[in-house]
Amino acid sequence: MVLHMALLEHSPDGFEVGYTGSGLAQLALAVLFYETGDPVIACAFYQDFKVEFVARLERGEDFAFSGKFVRDWLKSAEERKIKQQLYNCHKLRNNRLVN
C-alpha cells in the first residue's frame, strides 16, 4: 500500500501500529484513500479511523481491513458527523432564540 504522502505527510518512516502517533495517522489515511480514491473523504475521516481502529492494533500482529469493513465504517462515520453537525446547529439556533 502506498503511503500517500501527496495528501499529507505524517510519517516519513512509514506505517506503524500500537500507539496514536504519526505512523498510525499515515496508515489510516492510506487505508481510507486506498478504499475510496477520494482525498477529501480520506482527509476528513482518517483521524477518527485512526482512533477507533488503527490505534487498537497490536505491534507484531497481522491485521487486515476488508473493503466492505472500511466502506461500512465510513458510512457510519459520515452519518455520525452529519447528526453531530445538525445537533450543533440546532443547539446554536436554540441559544440564539433564548438570548
Residue 28, Cβ neighbours under 10 Å: how many?
25
Using alpha carbons, select from 13, 60, 50, 52 the residue that is nearest to residue 30.
50
Predicted local distance difference test score (pLDDT) of residue 64: 86
User: For the whole model, what pTM was predicted?
Assistant: 0.68
Residue 3 pLDDT greater than 60, yes or no? no
Dump pLDDT digits (tens) for 80-89: 988 888 888 8
Q: What is the pLDDT of residues 15-37, one digit of tens each?
A: 655 565 678 888 899 999 999 99
Taking the mean position of all CA atoms in its chain, how far away is CA 60?
22
